[in-house]
Amino acid sequence: MARANRSIFLLGLWLFLMQGASAAAPVLSNGWARATVSGQSAGAAFFSVQSDEPVRITAVSTSVAKLAELHQMAMTGGVMTMRQIDGIDVPKSGKVDLTPNGMHVMLFELSHPLIAGQHFTLNVTLRDASGKSEVEPVDIAVRALGQ
Ligand SMILES: [Cu+2]
């Protein structure tokens, strides 16, 4: 009986540890934005997401802009255009990079110009497969134009 209890305890411990391992939060990294010039009210920000489990970026927000949207660059009739998208999917054990030529965060009505060397926080809402949403902050470093 004692032996059986011990086995159940070890099984429970193993399940607990496995659960802890699979519940690792998505990792947000490489956050950056282009510096803006005086009079420019919109900007763009980029970052990378790595996740063990499938997640979807459903929203972004920041205190430096009144409005932040998820955008996608696309070639339309030989012209580079962009459109707003509902979300960005990160597949299981996948990594997604937001880049100037692909998916990005568009910032509208900046509260102040983005100056090289400054940092701000972008809040990223991530929804997991069960439908649970969580907001993760990512540090955005402002880079000089042309970098
Ligand atoms: Cu855009």
All residues at 6 or more sequence positions from 34 whose CB lies less than 8 Å from its CB, including other chains: 43, 44, 100, 114, 142, 143, 145
- Integer CA distances (angstroms), 137 to 14, 62, 88, 124, in order: 31, 9, 16, 6
CA of 87 to the centre of ligand 1 (A): 13
Assess whether pLDDT exceeds 70 at residue 147. Answer: no
Distance from C-alpha of 93 to C-alpha of 54, rounded to nearest angstrom: 7
Q: Is the pTM of this model over 0.85?
A: no
∠ Cα 39 99 102 (to 5°): 100
From the CA of 82, how far away is ligand 1's center (Å)? 6
Break the chain into its structural domains and give their ranges.
Answer: 25-143
- Span 47-72, pLDDT tens digits: 999 999 999 999 999 999 999 999 99
pLDDT at residue 2 greater than cutoff 80:
no
Rounded to the nearest whole angstrom, what is the distance from the C-alpha of residue 30 to the centroid of ligand 1?
A: 18
Residue 80 alpha carbon to ligand 1 centre in Å = 11
Radius of gyration of the chain (CA): 20
Q: What is the pLDDT of residue 145?
A: 81
Class of domain 25-143: mainly beta
